[in-house]
Amino acid sequence: MGRPYKFIDTISKCKLRNASILDLNALRKLEKESFEKDAWPLIDLIAVLTFPNVIRIKATENNQMIGFIAGDPRPNDGVGWVATIAVDSRFRLRGIGRALLRACERELNLPHIKLTVRASNQAAISLYEKEGYQTIDIWERYYNDGESALVMEKTL
């Protein structure tokens, strides 16, 4: 991403800023802890922290990463995809996921935001619905263990 991003969310009070390859170890730990079945392999984590145009924002407390979101802009389709979002389990339900999502939407700056979520992931679905996302499709057996994905969309 071109321009630096630094922001303090007024509700959750967490600090949000661009993530970089220097955050690889922290992101790896966060992903492992947050995604029992779907933690990304190292190569994907390196990609998300380095590929041009990817939106990558971390939430920090005492300079430690406590949350992360990545967004993948597809300007030709007018769509930005939320690629991953996670908040450290010790810091959940404090509005940090919402702050990350809103920041990512702002930075993507496209008319439609889409994402996929496991059909059983009530916490994430609840966050997305409260933030205005609607289920527009179901991708059957999308995940490795056979679970389906909800495709959710928000029109800004």
Ligand X SMILES: CC(C)(COP(=O)(O)OP(=O)(O)OC[C@H]1O[C@@H](n2cnc3c(N)ncnc32)[C@H](O)[C@@H]1OP(=O)(O)O)[C@@H](O)C(=O)NCCC(=O)NCCS
Q: Is the Cβ of residue 57 or residue 76 nearer to ligand X in the bound state?
A: 57
DSSP calls for 123-144: HHHHHHHHTT-EEEEEETT-ST
List binders of ligand X among 42-81 (CB under 6 A): none
- x/- mask, ligand X, residues 89-108, rule CB under 6 A, reads ---xxxxxxx----------
Q: Is 70 left (phi over 0), alpha (psi -120 to 50) or beta?
A: beta
Q: Which stretch binds ligand X (CB under 6 A): 2-10, 73-81, 117-125, 139-147?
A: 117-125
Q: Is the Cβ of residue 130 or residue 141 nearer to ligand X in the bound state?
A: 130
Contact 109, 128 (CB under 8 A): no
Q: Which two tokens stand for residue 77?
A: 């389709």
Neighbours of 147 (CB within 10 A): 15
87 binds ligand X (CB under 6 A): yes
Question: Of 45, 70, 83, 85, which lies in the binding site for ligand X, with binding defined by CB under 6 A?
Answer: 85
14 binds ligand X (CB under 6 A): no
Contact 33, 139 (CB under 8 A): no
Beta bridge partner(s), residue 86: 68
8 binds ligand X (CB under 6 A): no
Instruction: Report strand pairing: 6-8 vs 134-139.
Output: unpaired
Q: Is the Cβ of residue 71 or residue 95 nearer to ligand X in the bound state?
A: 95
Contact 151, 116 (CB under 8 A): yes
By beta-carbon distance, which residue lies closest to ligand X? 97
Q: Which residues bind ligand X (CB under 6 A)?
A: 34-35, 85-87, 92-98, 117, 121-124, 126-127, 130
